[in-house]
Chain A
Amino acid sequence: MTSNPEITPLPDEIVRALADLGDLEAPAELEDRVSLALLGQATAPAELAPRVELAVFGPAAAPASLWQRVVPQVQAEGASRRRARVLSFRRVLSAAAAVLLVSIGIGVYGPGSGTVEGPPDLVAQYQAHRAEVLSKVILIEVDPAEFSGIARDLGAHMGGAR
Chain B
Amino acid sequence: MSLSENELVRTCQESDGKEFETAFHGLYALYKDRVFTVCLRVCGNHEDALDAAQETLVTLARRIADFEHRSRFSSWVYRIAVNSSIDVRRRRLDAPRGGVQTRLGEDGDWHHEGNDSIPGQDPVRAVQRNEALDAVQNALVHINPRFSSLLVLRYVQGLSYEEISETLECSLGTVKSRLNRAHAALRDYLETRGGEGLNPA
A-side interface residues toward B, CB under 8 Å?
4, 6-11, 13-27, 29-31, 33-34, 37-38
Contacts and interface: CB of A to CB of B under 8 A. Distances in A.
Interface residues of B, number: 46
Contact of A9 (B33, B35, B156, B183): B183
B15 interface: no
20 contacts: A7-B179, A8-B180, A10-B186, A10-B187, A11-B200, A16-B132, A17-B132, A21-B140, A21-B156, A22-B156, A23-B37, A24-B36, A25-B36, A26-B32, A26-B35, A30-B50, A33-B50, A33-B54, A34-B28, A34-B54
Interface in B162-201: 176, 179-180, 183-184, 186-187, 190, 195, 197-201
B104 interface: no
B35 A8 contact: no
Interface of B: 28, 32-33, 35-37, 40-41, 46, 50, 53-54, 57-58, 61-62, 101, 116, 129, 132-133, 135-137, 140, 151-152, 155-158, 161, 176, 179-180, 183-184, 186-187, 190, 195, 197-201
Contact of A21 (B28, B54, B137, B187): B137
B33 A31 contact: no
B157 A6 contact: no
A26 B36 contact: yes
Contacts of A26: 32-33, 35-36, 53
B198 A17 contact: yes
A19 B129 CA distance: 12
A4 B164 CA distance: 15
Contacts of A31: 28, 32
B156 A19 contact: yes
Nearest to B29: A31
Contacts, number: 102
Contact of B157 (A17, A22, A27, A29): A22
Given A4-B176, A8-B183, A13-B198, A30 B57 contact: yes
Closest 6 CB pairs of A and B: A18-B155, A26-B36, A26-B32, A17-B136, A22-B156, A24-B37
Residue in A7, A13, A24, A27 whose Cβ sees the most chain B Cβ within 10 Å: A24
A38 B33 contact: no
B129 A20 contact: yes
Contact of A6 (B46, B129, B180, B195): B180
B136 A18 contact: yes
B33 to A, nearest CB: 5
Contacts of A18: 136, 151-152, 155-156
Given A8-B183, A21-B156, A14 B28 contact: no
A125 B55 CA distance: 116
A14 B195 CA distance: 9
Contacts of B199: 11, 13
B175 to A, nearest CB: 10
B32 A11 contact: no
Contacts of B32: 26, 30-31
A98 B101 CA distance: 92
Contact of B40 (A9, A24, A37): A24
